[in-house]
Amino acid sequence: MKRSRTYLPATTHALQALGAQIAAGRREMGWSAAELAGRLGVTAPLVTRIEKGAPGTAVGTVLEAAILCGVPLFGADPDDLDDVAERTRDRLALLPQRVRSHRIEIDNDF
């Protein structure tokens, strides 16, 4: 039995927006869902779920579909993604390697 997962509204909206952009890009390329599925190595029903914004789809498959359909990721030209990744790695280098949760000290002195 599959467990149900609840997603934040912002997550759902983002998936639906990305799915709509993928659908528009696919149609602009003149591809059917089956053609895009063949390029991705998945089934046509999975392409339909991606385009509807279904949250259970593998992120790699969704990003691959977006790239194939010409959808700009992270607001950047595909050639600029290396720069985005480099800036993010630079930012990560400034942050601590490990993050520990803060322990709450209980005050029993009352």
Count of other CB atoms within 10 angstroms of residue 87: 10
Q: Where are the domains of the chain?
A: 9-94
Return mean pLDDT, the chain: 90
Confidence band, pLDDT 50/70/90 cuts, at residue 30: very high
The confidence score (pLDDT) of residue 104 equals: 76
Looking at CATH, the fold of the domain delimited by 9-94 is given as 434 Repressor (Amino-terminal Domain) (1.10.260)
Q: How many residues does the chain have?
A: 110
Is residue 95 predicted with pLDDT exceeding 90?
A: no
| Percent of the chain whose predicted confidence (pLDDT) is above 90 | 64
Alpha-carbon span 15 to 55, nearest angstrom: 7
The confidence score (pLDDT) of residue 110 equals: 67
Which residues does 84 contact at the CB level (< 8 Å), separation at least 6? Answer: 74, 76
Alpha-carbon span 34 to 42, nearest angstrom: 9
Burial 69-86 (b: 16+ CB within 10 A, else e): bebeeeeeeeeeeeeeee
